[in-house]
Amino acid sequence: MSVPTGQPWPLAEIDPVRRLRVLSAAVPGIAIVERIIPLPFETVWTVASDLEHELPRPGGHIRSFQIVQTDGDRFEALVRGQGGLPDRFAGVLRPGWCWMQGRRIVAGMAAVPVAEGTLFAIAGGLRLPGAALLLPFTERSVVNLLNRLERRFWEREHGGSVARPHR
């Protein structure tokens, strides 16, 4: 079937969380975790998108994350893991969407407002042969990162250290 000359192609828009689900399903070895956070989108995304300060936190796998170049919504970052291994990430960061990949790691975050607050999703995995075999470990790491970020969402919303609702 062809589109008549001069007619626009139909568009199929999907929200950022659905887009992250699709990318996660298409790349072997990526774990994705979603959670409804009962906080406003602006609070959640302000914390989640602060990559340089929120990713290198205690208990995580990242020692440092430094954005070295930006061009609109695209960025390059130098990343150093807790073990000291360096990597260079290329990424896209826009409201409700972040996707980044380095030589060894691919990761993303997405958020959309919902009636209950914000639907937040985070995904990550290794870019190595056989990465799918490590999926249980990868999923645990992604859950841990989401738990740390959720604590930060609550702290940001309430102006300091607070207890979040139990899961």
Most confident of the following: 24-28, 49-53, 142-146: 49-53
In the three-class reduction of DSSP (H, G, I as helix; E, B as strand; rest coil), residue 73 is classed as coil
With both helix axes pointing from N to C terminus, report the angle between 41-48 and 135-158 in degrees, rounded to the nearest 10.
120
Phi, psi of 96 (to 5 degrees): 80, 0
With vertex at residue 127, the alpha carbon angle to CA 129 and CA 53, rounded to the nearest 5 degrees, is 155
Mean pLDDT for 83-106 is: 91
Q: 81 is written with which tokens?
A: 């893991």
- Over range 28-56, report the average pLDDT: 91
Spatial distance between the Cα atoms of 61 and 58, rounded to a whole number of angstroms:
8
pLDDT digits (tens, 9 = 90+) for 56-78: 876 667 889 999 999 999 999 99
The token pair at 95 is 């409201």
Which residues, at least 6 apart from 166, have a Cβ–Cβ distance to it below 8 Å?
none
Q: According to DSSP H, which parts of 27-110 are helical?
A: 41-48, 51-54
pLDDT digits (tens, 9 = 90+) for 142-155: 788 778 888 888 88
Torsion of CA 40, 141, 98, 157, to 10 degrees: 20
Q: Is the dihedral of CA 132, 94, 68, 76 positive or negative?
A: positive
Residue 16 has φ and ψ, to the nearest 5°, of -60, -35
